[in-house]
């Protein structure tokens, strides 16, 4: 008879701090998914092409790459708690900068605000992920991280709802004439200025409110006594730590797989709106499909976390990457509503990828985990670069989404060849990890 594992996922003595840190996963999920629809919103309000609009994601996810390693150095010198407080401070500053950005009506100012905001998110992710791993035994670490990460799509879902109800639905630049032509393009320059000012204010307000909420979290965590793991939070020589990490093929492969996974996720969630618009679904209505994708993602995270009790992480990751690849093929080669359903369905298979790759890559890294965490967060730069490449594909025949056909399908469909390649690479990593390390 198999002995039942009685190791607790989280000790009761640190349950409140665990819940508080877990709530941060929802907080940065909100920022991620209120921002995804902004690519399309900024394109219309500021009359940008697809490449220029994709710079929203370049600024947003580029901040992760810039600040992840400095965040790890900061945490190594001080503590997880101070790292989280620094992250919340930067997050709040970036969100509040939307106020002056709106006053100046400069796209570059908005990009700078998003860039600084994600400095804060880089601190939070670099710190909170290994902090959660440290709140218990290594045996249950990957499951514990999957549990905490399950609350990320809760925040993401709320971010999408806010984007739909309070931003996209209120944008005058998205209004259409009876013949389907955008009203905004027919206005005089002075009328456009009035609409632009109004729409940018609509975009600004949720970010400013978000900044105030983040300040409240800062105050609560600053006042609370947080657990301190002497082994996990001990000082580590950065040079030696990085050398050890990059001698591990499992870790290096994990960083590469994470970069491609995040790129795939952001492409699927960002260009869902353009995919829907290509056959007549407007942005505000397309958000319903984005919400469905997040609900499915959340369901997949809970299902996947439960499955990890009996299936090795590498094996489960392989089958989920295979499922994502199949759905992406349907998205590419079956235009219309069926392809959109498949695009939404990809989210189920993406659900466990980030925390599972993260847990596999850091498995057995010990004191080097804090710097390992930094490189895994830096890998989020895939979310900055890959959507930009997809934007270039969409611009091949013009600023529309069905200007040219490639392999018999519109360019918006073909552009999903990029996430398909990403999922294949994740599947290869998962298979190698399971075969070599039995993880």
Give the per-residue pLDDT at 229: 61
Range among 221-230, 344-353, 382-391 rated most confident? 344-353
Per-residue pLDDT, 399: 74
Residue 3 pLDDT = 42
397-414 mean pLDDT: 87
pLDDT tens for each residue of 102-117: 999 999 999 999 999 9
Alpha-carbon gap, residue 131 to 139, rounded angstroms: 15
Q: Which helix (H) or strand (E) holds 409?
A: strand 409-410
Average pLDDT over residues 260-268: 94
Structural domains of the chain, ranges and CATH numbers in brackets: 11-235 (1.20.1250.20), 241-438 (1.20.1250.20)
Average of per-residue pLDDT values in the chain: 88
Mean pLDDT of 228-248: 76
Q: Which helix H or strand E contains 406, and what residues bound it?
A: strand 405-406
Number of other residues whose CB lies within 10 A of the CB of residue 212: 11
Q: Quote the strand ranges of 75-161, DSSP E.
A: none
What number of other Cβ atoms are within 10 A of residue 21's Cβ? Answer: 24
CA distance 151 to 155: 7
d(CA 206, CA 197): 16
Q: What secondary structure letter does DSSP report for 379?
A: G
How far is the first Cα of the chain from the last one, in angstroms, to the nearest whole number? 23
DSSP 367: G
Q: Measured between alpha carbons, how far is 275 from 204 in angstroms, rounded to an integer? A: 26
Neighbours of 50 (CB within 10 A): 26
d(C-alpha 248, C-alpha 361), whole Å: 9
Mapping DSSP to helix (H, G, I), strand (E, B) and coil, where does residue 182 land? strand
Residues 6+ apart with CB under 8 A from 17: 135, 224, 226, 227
Query: Quick one: pLDDT at residue 2?
Result: 40
Contacts of 129 (CB under 8 A, 6+ apart): 145, 355, 358, 373, 376, 377
Task: In whole angstroms, give the CA distance from residue 217 to residue 153.
Answer: 19
pLDDT at residue 394 tops 50: yes
Outline where DSSP puts E strands in 165-256. none
CA distances (Å), 437 to each of 327, 355, 364, 368, in order? 28, 18, 11, 19
- Distance CA(374)–CA(76), nearest Å, equals 11
For range 355-363, the mean pLDDT? 89
Residue 106 has what DSSP assignment? -
pTM as predicted: 0.79
Q: What is the pLDDT of residue 112?
A: 96
Continuous H helices in 224-352:
238-245, 249-270, 272-277, 283-307, 313-333, 337-350
**Nearest C-alpha neighbor of 166 from the set 347, 44, 287:** 287
8 A C-beta contact, residue 347 and residue 300: yes
Is 43:107 a contact under the CB 8 Å cutoff? no
Q: What is the per-residue pLDDT for 1?
A: 38
Is the per-residue pLDDT at 298 higher than 50? yes
User: Between 348 and 403, whose confidence is greater?
Assistant: 348
């Amino acid at each position: 008879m198999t002995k039942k594992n009685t190791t607790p996922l989280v000790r009761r003595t640190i349950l409140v701090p665990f819940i508080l840190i877990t709530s941060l996963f929802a907080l940065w999920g909100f920022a991620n998914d209120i921002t995804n629809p902004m690519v399309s919103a900024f394109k219309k309000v500021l009359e940008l092409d697809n490449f220029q609009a994709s710079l929203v994601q370049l600024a947003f996810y580029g901040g992760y790459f810039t600040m992840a390693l400095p965040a790890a150095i900061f945490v190594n010198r001080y503590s997880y708690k101070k790292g989280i407080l620094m992250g919340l401070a930067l997050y709040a500053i970036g969100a509040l900068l939307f106020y002056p950005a709106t006053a100046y009506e400069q796209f570059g100012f908005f990009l700078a605000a998003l860039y600084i905001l994600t400095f804060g998110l880089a601190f939070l992710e670099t710190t909170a992920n290994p902090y959660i791993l440290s709140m218990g035994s290594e045996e249950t670490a990957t499951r514990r991280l999957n549990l905490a990460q399950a609350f990320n799509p809760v925040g993401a879902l709320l971010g999408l709802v806010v984007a739909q109800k309070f931003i996209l639905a209120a944008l005058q630049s998205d209004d259409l004439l009876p013949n389907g032509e955008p009203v905004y393009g027919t206005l005089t320059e002075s009328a456009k200025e009035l609409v632009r000012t109004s729409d940018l204010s609509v975009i600004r307000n949720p970010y400013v409110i978000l900044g105030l909420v983040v300040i409240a979290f800062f105050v609560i965590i600053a006042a609370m006594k947080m657990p301190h793991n002497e082994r996990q939070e001990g000082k580590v020589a950065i040079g030696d730590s990085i050398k050890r990490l990059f001698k591990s093929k499992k870790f290096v492969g994990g960083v590469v797989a994470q970069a491609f996974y995040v790129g795939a996720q952001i492409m699927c969630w960002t260009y869902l709106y353009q995919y829907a618009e290509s056959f007549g679904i407007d942005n505000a209505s397309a958000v319903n499909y984005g919400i469905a994708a997040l609900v499915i993602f959340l369901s997949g995270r809970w299902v996947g976390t439960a499955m990890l009790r009996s299936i090795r992480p590498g094996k489960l990751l392989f089958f989920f990457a295979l499922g994502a690849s199949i759905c992406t093929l349907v998205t590419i080669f079956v235009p219309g509503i069926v392809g959109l359903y498949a695009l939404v369905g990809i989210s189920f298979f993406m659900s466990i990828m980030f925390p599972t790759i993260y847990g596999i890559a850091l498995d057995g890294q010990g004191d080097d985990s804090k710097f390992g965490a930094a490189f895994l967060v830096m890998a989020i730069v895939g979310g900055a670069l890959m959507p930009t490449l997809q934007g270039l594909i969409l611009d091949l025949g013009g600023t529309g989404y069905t200007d040219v056909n490639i392999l018999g399908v519109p360019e918006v469909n073909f552009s999903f060849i990029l996430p398909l390649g990403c999922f294949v690479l994740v599947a290869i990593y998962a298979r190698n990890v399971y075969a070599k390390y039995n993880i």
